[in-house]
Structure 1
């Protein structure tokens, strides 16, 4: 059987699978075929949960005696949007001017295609590694992340799997391949504030309580002063108001209720619990100091609801993992990558509870965009970096 050593060919096969979350789209079947070509064992558990779609995932392993390296990623992709706006169809993997177009080209079927090619080349040159390599691939990273990596990790660990290190193949490089390795991520916390007033006529404000007055004061308290100024390893904690809603289409009616949602990306100055306490304190003080209408004695009343689960901040300090990958990048590209904790969240936030984890993949400039695309030359370069890493890791 021909080994899948060509990353561009691997990626083209994966792009042609329309695996928009939560659909498998045949992507895991295609990936299974590639991995079985060099004798990986492959399992595809399906996980379910209330009020969320079932999701099929993949766990594959090439077993050996020695350290166990995990490569993690996802084959699900975001919707393509207006397909007519694409220069080339989003699920056809057209190559034009040295670039391959397609949804998932960089986020993150490209990373998977390159790691498969790198491991296939390793096996072709050296045989089985002096250790184990596993693929932990979900179909739920771009969705609610309920039936994906979290459950796949639990499932694998319950079967006796353990890992010494992990690489997540997300597109980490901002400008050119080799710019950046992600060694941690800020945490994420979301909430919703609801202020309840009394609906009334705008001409008779003394008969109503306007919740918008209270909401403005509460939001101002969240935004100022800044939560911190950043730390040695992380940029400053950032709170953004993402929606403000009153559901009022009339211009002459004081609304009965106002709500707002916010998201905080926080650094290692905080835990989710300490940050929640700070938000409560700020809102309580602002509510006590403000009224829904002038002359009213009662403070503005509000409800605070925390949305979803908080993502904790984390930082990887494993020198072997970071130094080996950094050296591999430098050997192939000629430049030493920066180490960063910037950006949003990824499934690394779940993997860090099982083993040290870093992220390194393609250039992410076109991810989630119309005309998502990757330079074919970058696919070869990333494959060479992953191959060099495997050779040094298992040396």
Structure 2
């Protein structure tokens, strides 16, 4: 009888597959084989170039989903790493490699937790499921976004969703993510009239035109958090990430200026309201412009309920810390599952090294993760 690898060995196997988004490089195939062997039903849900895996055990409600991704961000210059990013390496009590924290360690942990859970409780109530995509770190178009649309069309219910994103700050379990701000991006093109810098009266400089309204948008305090009396969400923010204009010559007034910006916003706003506010500012300043909008996801909040209580109790018992329950940070695929009516949380390892050179996870914390995820499942499905 072949002994299945433990969470450290399994994580190393996943890291060794260079699954830079949207590639999967066989990660989901490996995971599907393990879960099928444990009695899970396997369904592959490919959309475009993206692989998505839906594995379930049991029937009916409640439905608990462990959500994760097998893709990783690019490594950056490999020569800057102390070891090859796709050769998992242990040193100083940490496992190094791209995806160690974000989030192949969590994926390995909750796959093992799911296996252990069904082995111990083969006749459990409800459904335990694993949902994976290879499109979380990329465009996030053909991944969980499309899967959620498929679930909506087929009537697939989700009651609880545990996302394995690295959420901890200083020690495992010190932060429980219970919501996320929404994300709205815009690409603004301001039209001018190209001309010689010595004859500005014959041209119209789109950079000059854009500066004042952009400064107004940057300086505005969009809100003070949500709700206003006891904020569970930080204040909404507007940030410019790119500005491009010009021909490269220092004596030419450009004919256009492109500005890329992003809102991170709380439930006090909706995307269309923010879009209207931006258009009103630009119109008031008389710009000739167009904007391409991309709504990346609406904000969500999981209020106090069975999932938050279960996760909190497990983290207190197994990590010895009362987690901070907040809605900070960026975005995750949880934003596509919450609108299905699910209670959603994020809980995983320390996130200090994610997307960085020498990404790593503490081995002792990695070894504790499967039991944490399994106990959450037991609190939710052993009725």
Aligned partner of residue 88 in structure 2, secondary structure: coil
- After the TM superposition, which residues 230-241 of structure 1 pair with which residues of structure 2 at under 5 Å, given as runs? 230-231=225-226, 232-241=231-240
* Residues 9/128 of structure 1: CA separation in 2 closer, same or farther (3 Å cut): farther
Give the aligned partner of residue 343 of structure 2. 356
Deviations 1:153-176 (A, max 9, x none): 333454453221111111111221
Matches within 5 A, 1:258-297: 258-285=257-284, 287=285
Q: Does 1:122 align with 2:117?
A: yes
Q: Is the 8 A contact 1:4 1:116 kept in 2?
A: no
3-state SS of the aligned residue for 1:20?
coil
Give the TM-score taking structure 1 as reference length: 0.91
The residue that corresponds to 1:154 in the other structure is: 149
- Aligned in 2, Cα 1:159/1:201: closer, same or farther, shift over 3 Å? closer
Change (3 A) 1:274 1:66: closer
CA contact (8 A) 2:182 2:264 kept: yes
The 1:128/1:91 distance shift into structure 2, 3 A limit, reads farther
Q: 1:60 maps to what in 2?
A: 55
Report the secondary structure of 1:306's partner residue. strand
The verdict on how the C-alpha distance between 1:35 and 1:251 changes in structure 2, with shifts beyond 3 A counting, is: same
- Deviation readout 1:267-313 (Å, 9 max, x if unpaired): 1221111111111222222x1xxxxxxxxxxxx42313133234211
- Deviation string for 1:335-378 (max 9, x for gaps)? 11111100111111100122221111111111111111111101
Q: Can you give the 5+ residue segments of structure 2 that lack an aligned partner in the other structure? A: none
Aligned to 1:32: 32
Is residue 371 from structure 1 mapped to residue 358 from structure 2 by the alignment? yes
Secondary structure, in 3 states, of the residue corresponding to 2:173? coil
Equivalent pairs counted in the alignment come to: 377
> Structure 1: 5+ residue runs without aligned partners?
49-53, 288-299
1:132 aligns with 2:127: yes
The 1:84/1:277 distance shift into structure 2, 3 A limit, reads same
Is contact 2:182-2:265 (8 Å) kept? yes
1:217-259 alpha-carbon deviations (Å, 9 max, x no partner): 1211211221112221111111111111113311122222222
Q: Secondary structure at the match of 1:71?
A: strand
**What does residue 390 of structure 1 align with?**
377
Verify: 1:346 aligned to 2:332, yes or no: yes
TM-score between both structures, scaled by the size of structure 2: 0.93
Distance 1:235 1:65, change over 3 A: closer
Taking only aligned residues, the RMSD between alpha carbons, in angstroms, comes to 1.8
Q: How does 1:1-395 map to 2 (within 5 A)?
A: 4=4, 6-48=6-48, 54-64=49-59, 66-231=61-226, 232-285=231-284, 287=285, 300-354=286-340, 355-395=342-382
Is the contact between residue 99 and residue 375 of structure 1 (CA under 8 Å) also seen in structure 2?
A: yes
